[in-house]
């Protein structure tokens, strides 16, 4: 299923985002290759798992895929993805952080690295591994020791103030996804304003508006992922 409906807010970046200047390093110091890893973070309920499911549906025929989920006390997100059948069950691995979720993706990344390497051994070094963070507030961000690129997902239903509140996900993620645009009229949120506020603090990094639930804008996210991975392979 490929979605290329970019929706009323247009394709990919607003205001022309410059690509991230971090080189994708897929070679370890011992010269062995490793998977390309994409972090997906953001507040609880913003649509991270929905985005992971949509990316799997669109990318699984293009590239070998694996998913690592992070939940504090459960394996809820991995269970959801397995139930949806987006990938074979053994390509989805659950990390139970047991602590504040950003610790496991930023500070003490060992459990996530173990899960990634275990998947990588099974799927191969040419795969893409999506790492969903546990839901957190605006302070969470991934260590670049864990992922090569990161997406931060905001929820329009949280109000159009959220982009103005900033935090590392809003300002420095490689791609900011403003999701649940369909709910804007119901909560009185001004999406155009939200996108402009985000763009103003992102120094040219891209912002995308989506309604993941109906696939609107997901094609733009897929194109961004493929372009960033391609960049890393060069
Ligand atoms: N209306 C609407 N609901 C969405 C959208 N994306 C996700 N959801 C719903 O929001 C809820 C939380 O989504 P989920 O992906 O579990 O969020 P996560 O906690 O960030 O992983 C679920 O009920 C989804 O169906 C969207 O674009 N529009
Ligand atoms: Mg989730």
Scored b (16 or more CB within 10 A) or e, 112-131 reads beebbeebbeebeeebbbbb
**What is the pLDDT averaged over residues 208-230?**
97
CA-nearest of 156, 148, 154 to 183 is 156
Please tell me if the CB atom of residue 49 comes closer than 6 angstroms to any atom of ligand 1.
yes
pLDDT at 33 > cutoff 80? no
Identify the weakest region by mean pLDDT among 76-85, 97-106, 218-227.
97-106
Identify the weakest region by mean pLDDT among 5-19, 23-37, 208-222.
5-19
Please tell me if the CB atom of residue 70 comes closer than 6 angstroms to any atom of ligand 1.
no
Measured in angstroms, how far is the CA atom of residue 49 from the centroid of ligand 2? 4
pLDDT at 15 > cutoff 90? no
Q: How does DSSP classify residue 87?
A: S
Counting atoms of ligand 1 from 1, which one is nearest the CA of 211?
A: 27
Which domains are present in the chain? 36-233 (3.40.50.300)
CA-nearest of 165, 209, 203, 220 to 20 is 203
DSSP string, 13-31: -SS-PPPP-S----B-TTS
CA-nearest of 52, 68, 61, 60 to 117 is 68
Supply the mean pLDDT for the chain. 88
Tens of pLDDT, residues 167-202: 999 999 999 999 999 999 999 999 999 999 999 999
CA-based R_g, the chain, Å: 16
Please tell me if the CB atom of residue 218 comes closer than 6 angstroms to any atom of ligand 1.
no
What whole-number percentage of the chain has pLDDT above 90?
75
Q: Whose CA is nearest to atom 11 of ligand 1?
A: 45
pLDDT at 23 > cutoff 80? no
Measured in angstroms, how far is the CA atom of residue 206 from the centroid of ligand 2? 22
pLDDT at 55 > cutoff 80? yes
Phi, psi of 209 (to 5 degrees): -95, 135
More reliable by pLDDT, 21 or 106: 106
**What is the pLDDT averaged over residues 79-108?**
93
């Amino acid at each position: 299923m490929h979605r290329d409906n970019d929706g009323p807010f247009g394709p990919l970046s607003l205001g022309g985002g410059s690509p991230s200047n971090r080189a994708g390093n897929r070679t370890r110091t011992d010269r062995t290759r490793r998977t390309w890893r994409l972090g997906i973070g953001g507040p609880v309920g913003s649509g991270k798992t929905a985005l992971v499911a949509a990316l799997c549906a669109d990318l699984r025929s293009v590239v070998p895929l694996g998913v690592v989920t992070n939940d504090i006390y459960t394996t809820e997100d991995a269970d959801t993805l397995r139930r949806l059948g987006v990938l074979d069950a053994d390509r989805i691995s659950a990390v139970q952080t047991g602590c504040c979720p950003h610790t496991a993706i930023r500070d003490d990344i060992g459990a996530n690295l173990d899960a990634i390497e275990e998947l990588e051994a099974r799927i191969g070094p040419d795969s893409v591994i999506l790492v969903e963070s546990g839901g957190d507030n605006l302070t969470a961000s991934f260590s670049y020791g864990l992922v090569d690129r990161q997406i931060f997902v905001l929820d329009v239903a949280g109000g159009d103030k959220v982009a103005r509140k900033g935090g590392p996900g809003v300002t420095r993620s490689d791609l900011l996804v403003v999701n649940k645009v369909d709910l804007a009229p119901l909560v009185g949120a001004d999406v155009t304003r939200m996108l402009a506020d985000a763009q103003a603090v992102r120094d040219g990094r891209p912002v995308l508006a989506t309604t993941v639930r109906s696939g609107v804008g997901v094609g733009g996210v897929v194109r961004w992922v493929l372009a960033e991975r391609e960049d890393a392979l060069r």
